[in-house]
């Protein structure tokens, strides 16, 4: 049996304030303090991430407080410290984590850029220390840590940012000497990003690196055979996704999206390069290969309105939507009547015949009336599948039968009851489906 041994940092029941503590490095610092039994106040400008972090902190059984405030404002520091003291007691630990890179160079940095960068990276922390330090010295115990950056010691980042961080490091060194012997310690942490690309580059290529939160300012390039993203949702703020951006020469491979469906056949929406068209497909592909997608079958698509230019249609019928008393399958013969506009036919030679439920009309009138379930497309003229019974020969006139929704060959011509003419023979007996030419007369 292996016993897990931890380090007691002596922070149990202490109270800490972490600025910029709702995400990134600040959030991780706050969580680490909570694991040590330290009560934690975090401040940030974003309400949603702040509330989420406070819930996580309280899961460690400590008291936690979220303060929505802007530390760059002169009144912000006083408000944050007083609210922390009022809710959690006196302040023992201050983590000045708020900061940010402006990335400004000398020619582009005006007074406003310099002032904002120093407010964010230096003055906000100084004001908080001014509010906290007297009480810490009076109690004879306190810890103050200001998160600086390696760019405060060496070249990197923008000029305004480097200068502000260098000032923060110098300030922390001087203050640490001033408070020596009071029981208060002052330190700085020169981190290299949260995390920085340099950290990733320093790790061996065979190693796995795990980050709880990763914020990248700039361009992120991932080189490898497969990139796996295992999240509940992916939120993309960019308005455009560009696939196959590295393709050169004539296009030769399919592109698109494939959905893994467990035990069921995968589906996808792809650009089929060989057919030169978009396609909704069923496929055994898993996305592990780059090339032509093997299409098992074409999948169904459903939308409210589809606008396009038709160059071909499965059936050349003219159809119109009518309200139905219940949902009927394609090929069902319907007539006017029932509890809605149409119902399936049930009488021989019914003069109220309206047409045949269409499966894929070439032209659809009254398209906005409803869906196929409530307002199916009824073929008024043209070539469509139709349910039939008995013996049918090509060219036979078709009329309604006593079998619900089924047509039959006419024994006689009764005006107003003709559905259309058979295009195929049917001799199988029972009920089947053949194609007919609807010509109501």
Write the pLDDT tens digit of every residue in 231-242: 777 888 788 888
The 10 Å CB-count burial string (b at 16+, else e) for 319-346 is bbbbebeeebebbbbbbbbeeebbbbbb
Catalytic residue among 161, 322, 328, 349: 161
- The pTM for the full model equals 0.45
Q: How far apart are CA 296 and CA 284, in angstroms?
A: 7
- pLDDT for 285: 84
Of the pLDDT bands very low, low, confident and very high (cuts 50, 70, 90), residue 197 is very low
pLDDT of 344-403, one tens digit each? Answer: 999 999 999 999 999 778 888 998 898 889 999 999 998 999 999 999 999 999 999 999
Residue 201 lies in a domain: no
Q: Is 426 a catalytic residue?
A: no
Instruction: List C-alpha distances in Å: 292 to 58, 225, 256, 280, 287.
Output: 52, 18, 11, 14, 11
- Contact at 8 Å (CB) between 314 and 360? yes
Q: How far apart are CA 377 and CA 363, in angstroms?
A: 10
Q: How far apart are CA 418 and CA 441, in angstroms?
A: 5
Are residue 95 and residue 164 in the same domain, yes or no? yes
Q: Per-residue pLDDT for 211 more than 70?
A: no
Are residue 25 and residue 168 in the same domain, yes or no? yes
* Length of the chain (residues): 441
- Report the side by side order of strands in the sheet with 277-283: 255-259, 266-272, 277-283, 295-298
Residue 312 lies in a domain: no
- Contact at 8 Å (CB) between 44 and 23? yes
Are residue 283 and residue 394 in the same domain, yes or no? no
**Gap between the terminal Cα atoms of the chain:** 89
- pLDDT for 190: 62
Residue 217 lies in a domain: no
- pLDDT for 409: 94
Tell me what percent of the residues of the chain surpass a pLDDT of 70: 86
Are residue 385 and residue 292 in the same domain, yes or no? no
Across the range 333-339, mean pLDDT stands at 94
Are residue 175 and residue 60 in the same domain, yes or no? yes
Q: Higher-confidence residue: 190 or 181? A: 181
Least confident of 111-115, 164-168, 199-203, 368-372: 199-203
- pLDDT for 225: 67
Are residue 375 and residue 427 in the same domain, yes or no? yes
Least confident of 85-94, 106-115, 160-169, 229-238: 229-238
Strands (E), 12-131: 15-19, 39-44, 64-68, 93-96
Q: Are strands 363-365 and 318-321 parallel, antiparallel or unpaired?
A: parallel
Are residue 347 and residue 400 in the same domain, yes or no? yes
Residue 114 lies in a domain: yes
Residue 231 lies in a domain: no
Across the range 270-281, mean pLDDT stands at 88
Q: Which of 202-211, 313-322, 377-386 has the highest mean pLDDT?
A: 377-386
ω into 399 cis (within 30 of 0): no
Are residue 143 and residue 284 in the same domain, yes or no? no
Residue 212 lies in a domain: no
Of the pLDDT bands very low, low, confident and very high (cuts 50, 70, 90), residue 191 is low
Across the range 325-329, mean pLDDT stands at 93
pLDDT of 19-29, one tens digit each? Answer: 988 888 889 99
Q: Per-residue pLDDT for 132 more than 50?
A: yes
Domain boundary among 145, 165, 189: 189
Sign of CA dihedral 394, 400, 401, 406: positive
Q: Higher-confidence residue: 204 or 293? A: 293
Instruction: List C-alpha distances in Å: 214 to 46, 52, 80, 211.
Output: 17, 17, 27, 6
Q: Per-residue pLDDT for 3 more than 80?
A: no
Domain boundary among 189, 214, 230: 189
- pLDDT for 198: 33
Show the tokens assigned to 263. Answer: 């035990």
Residue 198 lies in a domain: no
CATH number of residue 140's parent domain: 3.40.50.720
Are residue 324 and residue 294 in the same domain, yes or no? no
Q: How far apart are CA 396 and CA 179, in angstroms?
A: 106
- pLDDT for 304: 79
- pLDDT for 214: 64
Residue 7 lies in a domain: no
Total domains in the chain come to: 3
Show the tokens assigned to 86. Answer: 């009022």
Q: How far apart are CA 336 and CA 343, in angstroms?
A: 6
- pLDDT for 235: 81
Across the range 198-222, mean pLDDT stands at 52
- When the pLDDT of each residue in the chain is averaged and rounded to a whole number, the result is 84
Contacts of residue 165, defined as CB under 8 A and 6 or more positions apart, other chains included, come to: 99, 121, 148, 149, 151, 152, 157
Q: Higher-confidence residue: 412 or 422? A: 422
Q: Per-residue pLDDT for 341 more than 90?
A: yes
Are residue 22 and residue 159 in the same domain, yes or no? yes
Residue whose token pair is 């619900």: 404
Domain boundary among 298, 330, 350: 298
pLDDT of 135-161, one tens digit each? Answer: 999 999 999 999 887 767 777 677 888
Are residue 183 and residue 46 in the same domain, yes or no? yes
Are residue 25 and residue 138 in the same domain, yes or no? yes
- pLDDT for 313: 54
Domain range for 93 is 15-189
Of the pLDDT bands very low, low, confident and very high (cuts 50, 70, 90), residue 220 is confident
CATH number of residue 370's parent domain: 2.40.300.10
Q: Per-residue pLDDT for 87 more than 50?
A: yes
């Amino acid at each position: 049996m292996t016993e897990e041994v931890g380090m007691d940092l002596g922070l149990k029941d202490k109270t800490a304030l972490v600025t910029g503590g709702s995400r990134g490095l600040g959030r991780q610092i706050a969580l680490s303090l909570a694991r040590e039994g330290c009560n934690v106040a975090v401040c940030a400008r974003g309400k949603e991430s702040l509330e989420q972090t406070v819930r996580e902190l309280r899961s460690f059984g400590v008291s936690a407080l979220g303060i929505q405030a802007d530390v760059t404002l002169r009144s912000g520091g006083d408000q944050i410290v007083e609210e922390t003291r009022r809710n959690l007691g006196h302040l023992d630990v201050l983590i000045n984590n708020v900061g940010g890179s402006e990335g400004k160079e000398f020619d582009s940095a005006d007074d406003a850029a310099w002032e904002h960068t120093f407010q964010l990276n230096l003055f906000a922390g100084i004001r908080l220390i001014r509010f906290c330090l007297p009480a810490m010295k009076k109690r004879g115990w306190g810890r103050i840590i200001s998160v600086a950056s390696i760019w405060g010691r060496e070249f990197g980042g923008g000029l305004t940012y480097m200068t502000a961080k260098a000032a923060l490091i110098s300030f922390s060194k001087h203050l640490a000497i001033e408070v020596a012997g009071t029981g208060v310690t002052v330190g700085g942490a020169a981190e290299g990003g949260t995390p920085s690309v340099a950290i990733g580059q320093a790790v061996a290529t065979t190693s796995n690196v795990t980050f709880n939160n990763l914020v990248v300012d700039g361009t992120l390039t991932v080189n490898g055979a497969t990139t796996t993203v295992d999240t509940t949702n992916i939120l993309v703020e960019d308005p455009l996704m560009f696939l196959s951006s590295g393709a050169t020469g004539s296009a030769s491979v399919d592109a698109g999206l494939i959905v893994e469906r467990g035990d069921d056949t995968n589906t996808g929406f792809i650009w089929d390069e060989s057919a030169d068209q978009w396609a909704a497909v069923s496929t055994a592909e898993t996305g592990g290969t780059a090339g032509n997608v093997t299409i098992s079958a074409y999948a169904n698509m459903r939308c409210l309105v589809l606008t396009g230019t038709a160059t071909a249609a499965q059936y050349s019928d003219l159809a119109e939507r009518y309200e139905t008393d219940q949902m009927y399958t394609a090929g069902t013969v319907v007539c006017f009547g029932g509890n809605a506009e149409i119902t399936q036919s049930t009488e021989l030679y019914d003069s109220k015949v309206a047409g045949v439920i269409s499966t894929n009309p070439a032209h659809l009138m009254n398209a906005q009336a409803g869906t196929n379930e409530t307002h199916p497309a009824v073929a008024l003229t043209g070539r469509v599948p139709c349910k039939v019974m008995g013996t049918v020969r090509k060219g036979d006139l078709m009329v309604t039968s006593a079998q619900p929704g089924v047509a039959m060959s006419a024994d006689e011509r009764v005006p107003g009851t003709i559905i259309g003419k058979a295009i195929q023979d049917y001799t199988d007996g029972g009920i089947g489906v053949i194609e007919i030419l609807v010509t109501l007369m």
